Amino acid sequence: MTKSRIEARFAALKAQDRAAFVAYVMAGDPDRATALKILQGLPAAGADLIELGFPFSDPMAEGPPIQKAAQRALKDGMTLKGVLDLAAEFRQGDDTTPLIMMGYLNPLVTWGFEAFAQAAAKAGIDGLIIVDCPPEEADPLADALDAADISLIRLATPTTDDKRLPVVLRRTSGFVYYVSVTGVTGAKEADAEAVRPAVARIRAASGLPVAVGFGIRTPERAGAIAQVADAAVVGSALVDEVADALAMNEDVTERVLSKVRALAEAVRRARTSLPA
Amino acid sequence: MNAPTPPATPNDFAAYPDAQGRFGQFGGRYVAETLMPLVLDLEAAYLATREDAEFQAEMADLLTHYVGRPSPLYFAERLTEHFGGAKIYFKREDLNHTGAHKINNCIGQILLARKMGKTRIIAETGAGQHGVATATVCARFGLPCVVYMGAVDVERQKPNVFRMNLLGAEVTPVTSGASTLKDAMNEALRDWVTNVEDTYYLIGSAAGPHPYPMMVRDFQAIMGREIREQILEAEGRLPDAVVACVGGGSNAIGTFHPFLNDEQVRIIGVEAAGDGMGTDRHAAAINGGRPGVLHGNKTYLLQDAEGQITEAHSISAGLDYPGIGPEHSWLHDVGRAQYLTATDIEALDAFKLCAELEGIIPALESSHAIARLPDIARKVGKGGIVVMNLSGRGDKDVATVADHLGRTI
């Protein structure tokens, strides 16, 4: 049941000949109430899918923006169960926007994969991206998620060569996340022309939509990526809005959602037909 | 809470890890996908060096003439008398070039990095000993070196920071988290994932993703092999116990590994208990943590009920790490090794005792192992033999110790 939200959303976008805009927000950043308001406002602001970060103390693949977002969320007391509660509350008002949780393995190890997967399915989670769980280590988690009908979204990167690609794509479902730059989140900028052949290669090998992230901060860049990929993901630039709004004592929700509107608009305008 | 679960006793304790980098349930390769091809390449390159006679000869030559191996096995006569039990021997890694065991591993890895055509070296460091050893081999081979070091450690290990600078390394203070070794390792991993083409990550501990725990152990196992030969020559038999301090655990695993299949040799690691195991300010992953995943491997970790990693606390920067190498976690679970603890105060007392009775100023790290020697020597008893790895010298620690004694220097 839950898997179909991702498939349905990409099918609908394909029918409209446009790429998805994926917004990443950190659950509980800067506090639970604000994070819920942001989450609830994302679909109307133009987010086609939502990546809901869950905080970890040692996020090894994140640049400073998401590191700080995780610290704000942890400081406010966010827990893994709290993230699922947020998701469940969001689901009460939205049963169609796919919710993908993104984070690190250890909190899931602590909960136990099976119990977590069942709880996540109940909360309306559609997919999971676990940064420090490569395919070689993923089977126990994938088994638990399969049983709960949740997609384990796989990551392909510029270092994924043809030999490795089948390993990465084994047991994948939903979509494939292409990490467009070597580096941490929010540090380098993705080059749409360099991304184009990689996306085509992964799409052909997987038969799945390909989302591109890790190097998109501006509407211009999001629009360029939307011309070559099935989805453009923005994370660091959105959590930076949280930090900036806090620093300038502005309305956090409005800052984030207005950035989302600008990015989503650029993605919607980007093209009229999917590239072959 | 961490009573060893009794898995089947393996026939060959020294035969691990398996092809997936596992020691039982521990170890593995929990890294970002960007790094997976790199750790697979590294594993292949490392395994090739095991068969490469030229590589082995170059390493042996450097270990002899540059590091000063073999390090002596020294009979600590006055400490033996003082404790009144088994004979105490020290493996004198403090006499190595750069003052600790860390250089053994750095020699192996710098040769591997060169063989792989890497042109830039990064490392993490806690006390600064691994940073100094890495900076040293980088200077020796003319490679640029960036050392990530927690800002707190930069402050408490100033002489080592200056040494690294003298050796031409760039020391980057890390201010995320608690600004100690764990955070330095996060930052080094972030550098590696960013600079995948040219950069070699020279990990100093027997931790991290496979193949590091195996490779670092193998490079450090020269200590255990020498101990075997030296004690056979001195005493005509193997020791009753081998003892080492454990942070990440590279000096310990290098000491233990050649003895794993000698059932009569007790294997004892000593974790840092900081303010005490009854407090939450310690660095004892096995005695005070539970299994989890961090820095590329599954192992015992200090963490809260939610699986968030908690900060370690120890007077010794080199032991101030919330995890431990995965092989130690496994040796604990299968019951082959025993992990004790020593507090800051016990380590300080041992530090002074060793200086006064043996004329050796030990590293604060090694002092944790010395602190448990009285109990171990008594338990093994007169006529017995205990070998402790004196993993480093304490020159770097004199300011810290003076501070704790309320003295200014």
The CA radius of gyration of chain B, in Å to the nearest whole number, is 19
pLDDT at B8: 56
pLDDT higher at B127 or B125: B125
> What is the average pLDDT score of chain B?
95
pLDDT at A26: 98
pLDDT at A276: 41
pLDDT higher at B7 or B81: B81
Model confidence at A149: pLDDT above 80: yes
CA B235 – CA B63 distance, rounded (Å): 25
User: A 179-198 residues with CB below 8 A of B?
Assistant: 179, 182-184, 187-188
Whether this model's pTM surpasses 0.90: yes
pLDDT at A30: 98
- Which residues of chain A lie closer than 8 angstroms to B308, CB-CB? 55-57, 74, 106-107
Do you find a cis peptide bond into B211, omega within 30 degrees of 0?
Answer: yes
In this complex, do B190 and A107 lie within 8 Å of one another by their Cβ atoms? no
What is the token pair recorded at B337? 């090794």
- Which residues of chain B lie closer than 8 angstroms to A56, CB-CB? 307-308
Q: State what percent of residues in chain B have pLDDT above 90.
A: 90
Given A51, A114, A220, A250, which residue is catalytic? A51
In this complex, do A160 and B295 lie within 8 Å of one another by their Cβ atoms? no
Are B95 and B71 within 8 A, CB to CB? Answer: yes
In this complex, do A109 and B296 lie within 8 Å of one another by their Cβ atoms? no
B182 interfaces chain A, CB cutoff of 8 Å? yes
CA B238 – CA B67 distance, rounded (Å): 26
SS3 A25: strand
What is the token pair recorded at B331? 């040796």
> pLDDT tens digits for A245-254?
999 999 999 9
Helix axes of A219-228 and A252-269: crossing angle, nearest 10 degrees: 40
pLDDT band at B11 (very low <50, low <70, confident <90, very high): confident
> pLDDT tens digits for A232-270?
999 999 999 999 999 999 999 999 999 999 999 999 999
**CA distance, residue A245 to nearest chain B CA (Å):** 22
In this complex, do A184 and B194 lie within 8 Å of one another by their Cβ atoms? yes
Show Cβ contacts of residue B372 under 8 Å, excluding neighbours closer than 6 positions.
B243, B268, B270, B340, B342
pLDDT at B157: 84
pLDDT at B408: 85
The residue of chain B with its CA nearest to that of A135 is B33
- Which residues of chain A lie closer than 8 angstroms to B294, CB-CB? 58, 106
pLDDT band at B106 (very low <50, low <70, confident <90, very high): very high
- Which residues of chain B lie closer than 8 angstroms to A69, CB-CB? none
Phi–psi pair at A77, nearest 5 degrees? 95, 15
Phi–psi pair at B343, nearest 5 degrees? -80, 170
Q: Report the candidate in B267, B271, B388 with the shortest Cα–Cα distance to residue B336.
A: B267
- Check if A250 is active-site: no
Q: Kindly report the number of other CB atoms within 10 A of residue A166's CB atom.
A: 11
In this complex, do A106 and B296 lie within 8 Å of one another by their Cβ atoms? no
Helix axes of A236-247 and A64-75: crossing angle, nearest 10 degrees: 60
In this complex, do A182 and B195 lie within 8 Å of one another by their Cβ atoms? yes
CA A257 – CA A27 distance, rounded (Å): 15
For an interface test with B, which of A159, A177, A202 has the most B Cβ atoms less than 10 Å from its Cβ? A159
Q: State what percent of residues in chain B have pLDDT above 70.
A: 98
pLDDT at B9: 67
Are A240 and A28 within 8 A, CB to CB? Answer: no
> pLDDT tens digits for A89-104?
999 999 999 999 999 9
B291 interfaces chain A, CB cutoff of 8 Å? yes
- Which residues of chain B lie closer than 8 angstroms to A131, CB-CB? 32
**CA distance, residue B299 to nearest chain A CA (Å):** 11
Helix (H) or strand (E) segment spanning residue A101: strand A99-103
Model confidence at A137: pLDDT above 70: yes
SS3 A81: helix
pLDDT band at A4 (very low <50, low <70, confident <90, very high): confident
- Which residues of chain B lie closer than 8 angstroms to A64, CB-CB? 176
Place of tokens 């689901």: A91
pLDDT at A271: 77
> pLDDT tens digits for A46-72?
999 999 999 999 999 999 999 999 999
List of E strands, B82-233: 87-92, 120-125, 145-150, 170-174, 199-201
For an interface test with B, which of A182, A185, A188 has the most B Cβ atoms less than 10 Å from its Cβ? A182
pLDDT higher at B178 or A202: A202
**Nearest CB to B31; choose among A106, A110, A132:** A132
Q: Which residues of A201-220 are buried (b: 16+ CB within 10 A; e: fewer)?
A: bbbebbebbbbbbbbbbebe
pLDDT at A273: 44
- When pLDDT is averaged across residues B285-300 and rounded to a whole number, the result is 98
